[in-house]
Structure 1
Amino acid sequence: MLQAQLKPANLVVTCNQTHSTMAQTDAPSTPAKPVIHAKQTAESGSSAQLRHLSRYLVRNLGMLNAAFGDLPLSPVQAHALFEIGKQPLTIKELACKLSIDKSNASRAIKHLIDKNLAQSQIHPRDSRCLVVQLTPAGKKLLLKLDTQQNQLFQEILAQLTPAQTSQIEEALMLYNQAVHNAKHQSGCHIRQATAQDDAAIAKVIRDVSAEYGLTADKGYSVADPTLDCLSQIYSQAGANYWIIELDGRILGGAGIAPLANNEGVCELQKMYFMPEIRGKGLATRVALMALDFARETGYQSCYLETTAALNEAVKLYEKLGFVHLSAPLGNTGHDACEMPMLLELNQ
């Protein structure tokens, strides 16, 4: 996602305040740290409703039926027909496209071959595997299937205005992307940082900073004297830090802390991600967790400082609702970060 200085996807580096600001713990206006929010521990009403709608949609589209419409194909076989109709595929490639296991994909292919709807041949570049393509009969059935589905969706869309159709399309694109991200985040564990994580977190910040030229002499947070004891800094009231762990390794994190001398304002800080976890939507996910924490803690707004060189990071912040400020808030000590931004949390 991030290009130029931040080339790989979803690497987000915020320029955060200095240790003197971060260490402030006795500001009277600082909200108290809440218990982990219910959104992380119990199913919310919106989550339950979305699950219900998803189940209902699957049922009403006939995905639980033995046959797909009035054709002699199961839903999996019909989807296999669609994908092979686009281009010849191996079993592994088909399984990946349909998000099913290889044995399920193999059974679907066997059915299509047995019905003379598909045929297999040795892969032209790998003699160890087979590639499957449609036969003339398969192409004919695909045309019938496509016509059937077009008619079905025309009847559905006839119930909606063009504006409603566009709204549903946009919402489904967002939902599909969220499902995709959740799948690819499998195995990544997000939790609050502890003292045992300090060395690993500091290493992530130093490694990523070095990778992208964010040197200490330029005023980036890698120069922070408290870098090796972040759990202590983020244990103050109104602060928190989340780490991302994969296979027992800490590979990223982000934090929220109060902005000194600015009542009701927090700062989004120290978002760093190693290459292994980039491109999975984790930057957005962790940022949303941090903003949820900020709201529940009682902050009215969230501040950050970044630089125009981090173009994709800026795009993420804008997508989250941050607006550009003409001047920085407070004195964070990071002159190199010329782009201050603010999000009103109660809008």
Structure 2
Amino acid sequence: MQPQQLRQLSRHLVRQLGMLNNQCGTFALTPVQAHTLIELEQGPCSVNQMAILLKVDKSNASRNLAMLLNQDLITTISHPTDRRSQLSQLTTTGQQVLQQLHHQLNLNSQQILEQLDDDEIQCLAKSLHRYSRAITATEQQQQYNVRSITPLDNAAIATIIRNVSMEYGLTSDKGYGFSDPTLDNMAEIYQPEMNHYWVIEKDHHILGGGGIAALAGQDGWCELQKMYFLPELRGKGFARKIAVQALKFARQQGYKGCYLETTAVLKEAVDLYLSLGFVEIPQRMGNTGHGGCEIKMIKTF
């Protein structure tokens, strides 16, 4: 899918769902006001909190809260810890209107789902969840730069790999690549055309990286390698971003598939690989030298 196709589909969905209308369903509520009521169903909110929840500017949130107040759908109460601030909460009328809105929109959604079979619904749920997480990750990654490794990055990325390995107890005496001499020359190791390594930096500081290279001893296969990130990067979707970038690169190079070795200690990494379509296999492939990694996984292209 190309960017313009994604934008076209998104525009079409926005129009079909009525998000450009002045009212939500048959109620005299704009989509933003409906979303505001739904958030207040979880509990009272300040203007700032509502702006964050709805991902709108503070003036937009304030204006819509004022309109809902005029309709007697919400009321304001004093903030328990900040005398300068007030909290908005649903009135009894607001709760009743919201329940009617839920009923109407749930009915509309059910009619849509009836057009899909069970496997299609499962695929849709998974894809929408993944799409939403990708949007969030993109927002969180704005201040960082992903680029190809250079010789000037060698010392920094080697230090990161060793420090993160120690953090998780993945030391050389347990069969891991902590003492791998190639760690000090990563830019040169990943120089061949079929290999590549990416680093992530912010304010000229390297914070992590990951790469892909031909799998030693297994013609036509590549290996996802050396995915290590400092705590600052974790939870921002960079592991998936690098892995996806590496897999796309591997397909372009004509590899048959990708192999990796990891350990149950890195639970988040295992979950990521499974979500990307990797499956566990019983036997090792190639000659990685990672004797301590008990989990072997592949993904065919």
Same fold (TM over 0.5): yes
Report the CA distance between 1:207 and its aligned residue: 2.0
Alignment of structure 1 residues 119-130 onto 2, 5 Å: 119-130=75-86
Structure 2 partner of 1:97: 53
Residue by residue over 1:89-146, the C-alpha shift from the partner in whole angstroms, topping out at 9 and shown as x without a partner, is: 1222222221222222112112112222212222223334321101223223223322
Structure 1: runs of 5 or more not aligned: 1-43
Q: 1:278 aligns with which of 213, 234, 240?
A: 234
Percentage of pairs with the same residue: 49
Structure 2 partner of 1:213: 169
Structure 1 partner of 2:189: 233
Structure 1 partner of 2:259: 303
Q: 1:96 to 1:239 in 2, by over 3 A?
A: same
Alignment of structure 1 residues 185-224 onto 2, 5 Å: 185-224=141-180
SS of 2:93 mapped into structure 1? helix
1:173 paired with 2:139, answer no
Report the CA distance between 1:162 and its aligned residue: 4.7
The AA in structure 2 aligned to 1:144 is: Q
TM-score (norm 2): 0.90
Structure 2 partner of 1:5: none
The AA in structure 2 aligned to 1:98 is: L
Alignment of structure 1 residues 38-49 onto 2, 5 Å: 44-45=1-2, 47-49=3-5
Structure 2 partner of 1:326: 282
Q: 1:150 to 1:330 in 2, by over 3 A?
A: closer
Structure 2: runs of 5 or more not aligned: none
SS of 2:76 mapped into structure 1? strand
Question: Which stretch shifts more, 271-280 or 204-213?
Answer: 204-213
SS of 2:85 mapped into structure 1? strand
Find the aligned partners of 2:258 and 2:213 in 1 and give their Cα distance: 9
Alignment of structure 1 residues 146-165 onto 2, 5 Å: 146-165=102-121
Deviating above 6 A after TM superposition, structure 1's stretches of 4 or more consecutive aligned residues are none
Residue by residue over 1:1-38, the C-alpha shift from the partner in whole angstroms, topping out at 9 and shown as x without a partner, is: xxxxxxxxxxxxxxxxxxxxxxxxxxxxxxxxxxxxxx
The AA in structure 1 aligned to 2:172 is: A
The AA in structure 2 aligned to 1:290 is: A
Report the CA distance between 1:235 and its aligned residue: 0.9
Report the CA distance between 1:242 and its aligned residue: 0.7
Find the aligned partners of 1:154 and 1:316 in 2 and give their Cα distance: 31
Please say if residues 140 and 236 of structure 2, whose CA atoms lie closer than 8 Å, have aligned partners that are also in contact: yes
Please say if residues 217 and 223 of structure 1, whose CA atoms lie closer than 8 Å, have aligned partners that are also in contact: no
Structure 1 partner of 2:44: 88
The AA in structure 1 aligned to 2:86 is: L
- The number of aligned residues is 301
Structure 2 partner of 1:74: 30
SS of 2:139 mapped into structure 1? helix
Q: 1:303 to 1:89 in 2, by over 3 A?
A: same
Please say if residues 74 and 90 of structure 2, whose CA atoms lie closer than 8 Å, have aligned partners that are also in contact: yes
Question: Which stretch shifts more, 260-269 or 290-299?
Answer: 260-269
Find the aligned partners of 1:311 and 1:221 in 2 and give their Cα distance: 18
TM-score (norm 1): 0.79
Report the CA distance between 1:186 and its aligned residue: 2.6
Report the CA distance between 1:208 and its aligned residue: 1.1
The AA in structure 2 aligned to 1:61 is: L
Please say if residues 221 and 270 of structure 1, whose CA atoms lie closer than 8 Å, have aligned partners that are also in contact: no
